[in-house]
Chain A
Amino acid sequence: MEKKVSKTSIITGISFIIYALALTVGPNTLYQGCAAEKMMKCTQSLNVLFWIGIVLGIIGIVNFFIKSDIYRLVASVVGIIAGIFAFLIPTVIIGACSMATMPCRALTFPVIYVLSGIFIVVTVVNGILLLRARKTQKDSE
């Protein structure tokens, strides 16, 4: 039981940290957005995603110091909501550049959408494994 819990703990921590890096470091390095000559919608969207990434990164790091399943379950829910917001912020809530050929729409946000989708899937699966582990633990008690 201990082994299973620690496996999900590692998955939670690592997936959160990787996704946090994807939202904070990635748009400034590997998949840069538009050159910010003025405050554009895409810049605003990336700024919000940056802070979401910071919060997720903190959750991921703290996860390694906390042994509680409840923490990881709550983190999974927060992670899924954050992933959904990563889709909604550039498309609906704030927006991005109008032209489909601009760097933010051609590269930056598609990368974020793909990574968000993967993160949501991993978090959901991890959440299911956590719930199963808790159920097994309760049954054996």
Chain B
Amino acid sequence: MIFFVTLLAFTMFSVSIISRSTENGLSSVVNRLGADIMVVPEEGGDSVQSLLFQGTPCTTYFDAGIEEKIKNVEGVEKTSPQLYLATLSASCCDSQLQLIAFDPKTDFVIQPWLKSSLHNNLSAGSVVVGSSVNKKAGDTITFYGIEFKVAGRMERTGMGYDSSVFLNFEDAQKILESPNIEKNKDLKQVDNIISTVVVDIGTNSISKVSEQIKKELSGNSVGVYTSETLTHSIAGSIANFKDLEKFTEAISFLSAAVALLSLFAITINERKKEFGILLSIGTGHKQIFQIIVTEATTITIFGAILGIVIGAITVFPFSIVISQKLALPYLLPELTEIAGLVIKILVISVSTGICSAIVATKRLLACDASELVKETE
């Protein structure tokens, strides 16, 4: 019995945590994107998506003059350029990081949430690192032979920004002018380049403005993405996870209910003589009922807690591996949400156990004490 309750709790807990983590990751992406429209190099579209969702570093660029063309499109209220450069490998780390440069004068996407880590604007010579980079404020970090001061470290976002480093365009220009930039084989041009233009359209129609931008830039090899089109593919996968969560919950619950009902019926049947003797010496029906329900409650609480602990050991230490295998943004739920889930699973498990015990007990107590003792002789 404990096994089935443990299995129910484990399945519900792990699937729910994974599903909610992917949902949180998607919300994080949508919130952090901040822009209504993103214009990226056509061949860099997949790389940018990989960067945003999985943190795969990329170097992609087009001519900075494209931003001027976008500004002239009707419906465009604000634009700001960003530059994406993959590092060779940072001195602190043994893997590539993503450098994301932004223009402090025009940016409206990155600075609002950088301020929560910094409380001030990012000064020249300073960078802000993502949560996966093991540096803290006051440390130094070197890219392409140039040393920068770490001004702060972001909280976990569950998206590619966790393995990114943010700096302003002035510092990015220093990197582009450094001799070590030649080691980046993806970079064929260093003058006047940007990787994306983020666009704010205010209250204008997204579809209309994005069509206008595509028309204006039809001679250039660019991709125009809205936050919806950018997240469309992963939103579908995450919706599938949500369905899987509900389906798994339903199947686990039904299987556990059927199993517990059968097992309680078998167990009580095996103990008919015991209960018959108890009834014949004057133990009331209510007391018998209390004994069985208390046993059911104890077994299901123990089984549920065991299942939740095993589920927690499976999903929490390995959250990074899970997110890498799923290739989706992944942000673990807050403690309060996890606590709510634990309570929900405990309530479902205990109720299932108690209901199964009640059904089995009713049949038992319908019999006479002498019948119970006689049947087993």
Contact = CB atoms under 8 A, between A and B. Distances in A.
B93 interface: yes
Nearest to B135: A98
Of A101, A113, A114, chain B has the most CB atoms within 10 Å of the CB of: A101
B270 to A, nearest CB: 27
A43 to B, nearest CB: 11
The B interface is mostly helix, strand or loop, or mixed, namely: loop
Interface in A78-102: 97-102
Contacts of B162: 100
Interface stretch (A2-10, A56-64, A67-75, A103-111): A103-111
A115 to B, nearest CB: 10
A40 interface: yes
A94 to B, nearest CB: 15
Contact of A114 (B55, B94, B317, B321): B317
Contacts of A97: 93-95
Nearest to A104: B94
Interface in B132-162: 132-135, 162
A7 B377 CA distance: 37
A125 B147 CA distance: 52
A34 interface: yes
Contact of B132 (A34, A40, A100, A114): A100
Contacts of B313: 114
Contacts of A98: 92-94, 133-135
B333 to A, nearest CB: 18
Contacts of A110: 317-318, 321
Contacts of A101: 55, 95, 132, 163, 320, 324
Contacts of B324: 101, 106
Contacts of B317: 110, 113-114
A120 to B, nearest CB: 14
Interface residues of A, number: 14
A102 B94 contact: yes
Nearest to A35: B94
Contacts of A34: 94
Interface in B91-145: 92-95, 131-135
A34 B162 CA distance: 20
B306 to A, nearest CB: 13
A99 B57 CA distance: 14
A113 to B, nearest CB: 6
Interface in B16-71: 55
B321 A99 contact: no
Given A99-B132, A99-B134, A101-B163, A107 B92 contact: no
Nearest to A98: B134
Contacts of A40: 94
Contacts of B321: 106-107, 110
Contacts of B131: 100
Interface string B341-359: 0000000000000000000
Contacts of A106: 318, 320-321, 324
A115 B135 CA distance: 29
A22 to B, nearest CB: 14
A99 B133 contact: yes
A11 B162 CA distance: 43
A102 B134 CA distance: 12
A107 B318 contact: yes
Nearest to A38: B94
Interface string B62-94: 000000000000000000000000000000111
A70 B135 CA distance: 47
Nearest to B54: A101
B247 to A, nearest CB: 28
Interface of A: 34, 40, 97-102, 105-107, 110, 113-114
Given A100-B132, A101-B163, A110-B321, 17 more contacts: A34-B94, A40-B94, A97-B95, A98-B92, A98-B93, A98-B94, A98-B135, A99-B95, A99-B133, A99-B134, A99-B163, A100-B320, A101-B132, A101-B324, A102-B94, A106-B318, A106-B320
**Nearest 10 pairs of A and B residues by beta carbon:** A98-B134, A110-B317, A106-B320, A100-B132, A99-B93, A98-B93, A106-B321, A98-B92, A107-B321, A99-B95
18 contacts: A34-B94, A98-B94, A98-B133, A99-B95, A99-B133, A99-B163, A100-B132, A101-B55, A101-B95, A101-B132, A101-B163, A102-B93, A102-B95, A106-B318, A106-B321, A106-B324, A113-B317, A114-B313
